[in-house]
């Protein structure tokens, strides 16, 4: 069975109504990244950060996976599929994808402020727990913080993702600007003969001069076209 790796970014979930961060009018326009997505911002104003992610979690309750998510999940009927996502939402899982590697953390999980990557302290929240409060503590007694990889923090799953990309027979990239590292660097770990497809309605600067088949469409329309090709 051929192995497919699907690398997804914010454009994957945009059709579901989840705000992108970088586009004009995106979340970074409203909330400075240094305030809500850095360890320093969290140390400075933990209440602001906790409230920000509480709001992101509540948004998850009002959105559904789009056709693009469902078509990615449907690839598993014929291929061995690994989704590597920069997104922190759970829409790939809800669409039916069974192997999803989250590079930047998961919105529905919380962890220890002292030891955020220790599996002992990472906990999945039920929807009724999506509102985290100051004073809610992890098992080590520290404030529960979002299980999110903030700017300036290491990306624990990048090596796992790299292993999958190195073995991929097909690489599909959906809805990412290829500007955010280390995720953007994954494209250079493909085998020399691995076909690479990129789905995005915007112009994307493809690094390294790699031969990439570009489908200049949104996630759902682009996936429909890609399925006809592969």
Residues 144 and 93 in one domain: no
The boundaries of the domain holding residue 201 are 1-18+65-104+155-230
> How many percent of the chain have pLDDT more than 70?
94
Residues 139 and 226 in one domain: no
Residues 45 and 118 in one domain: yes
Q: What is the CATH number of the domain that holds 127?
A: 3.30.1600.10
Last residue of a domain, one of 148, 172, 202: 148
Q: Identify the burial level of 221 via C-beta atoms within 10 angstroms of its C-beta, where 0-12 means exposed, 13-18 middle and 19 or more buried.
A: middle
pLDDT of residue 18: 86
Residues 140 and 163 in one domain: no
Q: What is the CATH number of the domain that holds 11?
A: 3.40.50.1220
Confidence of residue 124 (pLDDT cuts 50, 70, 90): very high
- Residues facing 137 on adjacent strands: 143
pLDDT of residue 181: 84
Residues 208 and 229 in one domain: yes
Residues 54 and 133 in one domain: yes
Q: Tell me which of 20 and 116 has the higher pLDDT.
A: 116
The edge-to-edge listing of strands for the beta sheet with 105-112 is 123-124, 105-112, 144-148
Residues 49 and 72 in one domain: no
Residues 80 and 115 in one domain: no
Average pLDDT, the chain: 92
pLDDT of residue 178: 84
Domain count, the chain: 2
| Mean pLDDT in residue range 139-163 | 96
Q: Are 105 and 112 in contact (CB under 8 A)?
A: no
Question: For the segment 4-38, what is each residue's pLDDT rounded down to a tens digit?
Answer: 999 999 999 999 988 655 544 555 456 788 899 99
Residues 73 and 182 in one domain: yes
Residues that are catalytic: 104
């Amino acid at each position: 069975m051929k192995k497919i790796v699907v690398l997804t970014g914010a454009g994957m979930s945009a059709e579901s109504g989840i705000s992108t961060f970088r586009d004009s009018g995106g979340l970074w326009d409203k909330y400075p990244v240094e305030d809500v997505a850095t360890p320093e911002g969290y140390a400075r104003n933990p209440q602001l950060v906790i409230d920000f992610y509480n709001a992101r979690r509540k948004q998850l309750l009002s959105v559904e996976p789009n056709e693009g998510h469902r078509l990615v999940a449907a690839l598993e009927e014929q291929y061995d599929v690994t989704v590597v996502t920069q997104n922190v939402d759970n829409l790939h899982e809800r669409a039916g994808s069974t192997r999803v590697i989250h590079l930047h953390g998961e919105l529905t999980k919380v962890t220890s402020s002292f030891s955020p990557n220790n599996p002992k302290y990472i906990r999945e929240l039920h929807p009724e727990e999506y509102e985290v409060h100051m004073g809610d503590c992890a098992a080590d007694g520290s404030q529960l913080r979002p299980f999110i990889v903030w700017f300036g923090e290491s990306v624990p799953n990048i090596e796992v993702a790299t292993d999958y990309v190195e073995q991929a027979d097909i690489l599909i990239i959906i809805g990412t600007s290829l500007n955010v590292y280390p995720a953007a660097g994954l494209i250079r770990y493909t085998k020399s003969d691995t076909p690479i497809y990129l789905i995005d309605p915007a112009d994307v600067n493809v690094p390294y001069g790699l031969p990439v088949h570009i489908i200049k469409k949104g996630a759902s329309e682009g996936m429909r076209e890609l399925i006809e090709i592969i």
